[in-house]
Structure 1
Amino acid sequence: MSEHVNKYTEYEARTKAIETLLYERGLITPAAVDRVVSYYENDVGPMGGAKIVAKAWTDPEYADWLKRDATAAMADMGYAGEQAHEIEAVFNDSSTHHVVVCTLCSCYPWPILGLPPAWYKSMEYRSRVVVDPRGVLKRDFSLDVPDDVDLKVWDSSSERRYVVVPERPEGTEGWSAEELTKLVSRDSMIGVAHALKPEEVVA
């Protein structure tokens, strides 16, 4: 008799079980779930956050507003509502690097970053990045944060979520906001990566 292998993580298995119950009771349909997933993957997604970052890079007044009241500044660009009702933007610079986690569950600003990656929801990331953030970034994401750079970990919650504004890469002077969005990834807005360099962008 072969041993049964569960291909799902604990959280994925729970989600599948709940999803199945909702289907069986007629409370939701597979088509409705597909529409929601497609919305966050294609219509919302990280591109919203990338547009916000690019505007902050090119508009000092907007960047200042984003620092003071990210929720209002993002809402002004059309990104508001559930999962984005209270957001704080933290800015990376040459002396400070920020990384975001949710130690309690997986609170995440869906309207500007799309669906959270599986690793963000994993117990391993949620526990280790708080204890050893520099080590986790280097081992798991190949991001080496120098010892002389202050590394701050922000713990998201249902009341407040965080988004990282990465440093603007060198060599992008004169770039338009539209061009700059190509340099901003979801991971850079969580803080586990830098923004892409100009030479890393695929034409």
Structure 2
Amino acid sequence: MPHDHHDDHPHSLLPSDPELRARALESILVEKGLVDPASLNALIDTYENKIGPRNGAQVVARAWTDPDYKKRLLENGTDTIAELGFQGRQSEHMVAVENTPEQHNMVVCTLCSCYPWAILGIPPAWYKSDAYRSRAVREPRAVLDEFGVKLLPTQKVRVWDSSAEVRYLVIPMRPDGTEGMTEEQLTDLVSRNSMIGTALATPPGDQP
């Protein structure tokens, strides 16, 4: 290959795994003073836990308060989510699935890490891990238990496998005691993990 002899090429210093490559690049940029680690961490936290998940949380809160919207959401996730202005890369083909007292849903991508970035933000590291991708299918109840999700013995678990063609949004069950809350207040009860299915919606008063 023409580049095999260029051992001093910057890419030759980086490992092959994408996540390790990203960490190596980050280290190089920090070392050269081009990136402030605190600012970078704050930026990542904003996109991972605020901007992206907030979009999905608004969708869930609307579904909790508007039966017609929820009906459309379950029938056509992509177009109904777009009604709130949320659409974009890796969120073009969305399917919404609803948690009920009879069935709990959780999402995984067994082949890689397909994930609706525009709706849920940056995917968490555990979602991309080999352990989650394999165990979520083989032993979903055990995985949920490790996440702190306690289900009734009678409650079935259905695992949805995301792909390049379709991605999923879990609509968690609305917590008790939220009847008088506004849509904005309800949004604060919906976490990223609850929309993946590895958490339940937060009871009122328990949110940070």
Q: TM-score, normalised by structure 1?
A: 0.82
Shift of 1:38: 7.7
Q: Does 1:184 align with 2:198?
A: no
Shift of 1:39: 7.5
Q: Does 1:198 align with 2:204?
A: yes
* CA–CA distance in structure 2, aligned partners of residues 182 and 44 of structure 1: 13
What's the secondary structure of 1:153's corresponding residue?
A: strand
* CA–CA distance in structure 1, aligned partners of residues 18 and 122 of structure 2: 15
The answer for the alignment partner of 1:161 in structure 2 is: 167
Q: Which runs of 5+ in 1 are unaligned?
A: 1-7, 24-28
* CA–CA distance in structure 1, aligned partners of residues 45 and 124 of structure 2: 15
Given that residues 40 and 111 in structure 1 are in contact (C-alpha distance below 8 angstroms), is that contact kept between their aligned partners in structure 2?
A: no
The answer for the alignment partner of 1:81 in structure 2 is: 88
The answer for the alignment partner of 1:135 in structure 2 is: 142
Describe how 1:119-134 pairs up with structure 2 within 5 A. Answer: 119-134=126-141
Q: TM-score, normalised by structure 2?
A: 0.80
Shift of 1:145: 1.8
* CA–CA distance in structure 1, aligned partners of residues 82 and 44 of structure 2: 22
- Percent identity among equivalent residues? 49
* CA–CA distance in structure 1, aligned partners of residues 202 and 47 of structure 2: 23
* CA–CA distance in structure 1, aligned partners of residues 86 and 206 of structure 2: 28
- Which digits, 9 at most, give the CA deviation of each residue in 1:45-92, with x for residues without a partner? 200000000000000000001000010011111111211100100000
Shift of 1:176: 0.7
Letter in 1 for 2:182: S
Letter in 2 for 1:13: L
- Which digits, 9 at most, give the CA deviation of each residue in 1:70-126, with x for residues without a partner? 100111111112111001000001111000000011110111110011110100000
Shift of 1:150: 1.1
* CA–CA distance in structure 1, aligned partners of residues 72 and 199 of structure 2: 24
Given that residues 40 and 110 in structure 1 are in contact (C-alpha distance below 8 angstroms), is that contact kept between their aligned partners in structure 2?
A: no
Shift of 1:44: 3.1
* CA–CA distance in structure 2, aligned partners of residues 43 and 195 of structure 1: 16
Shift of 1:146: 2.1
Q: How many matched pairs?
A: 183
CA RMSD, aligned part only?
Answer: 2.4
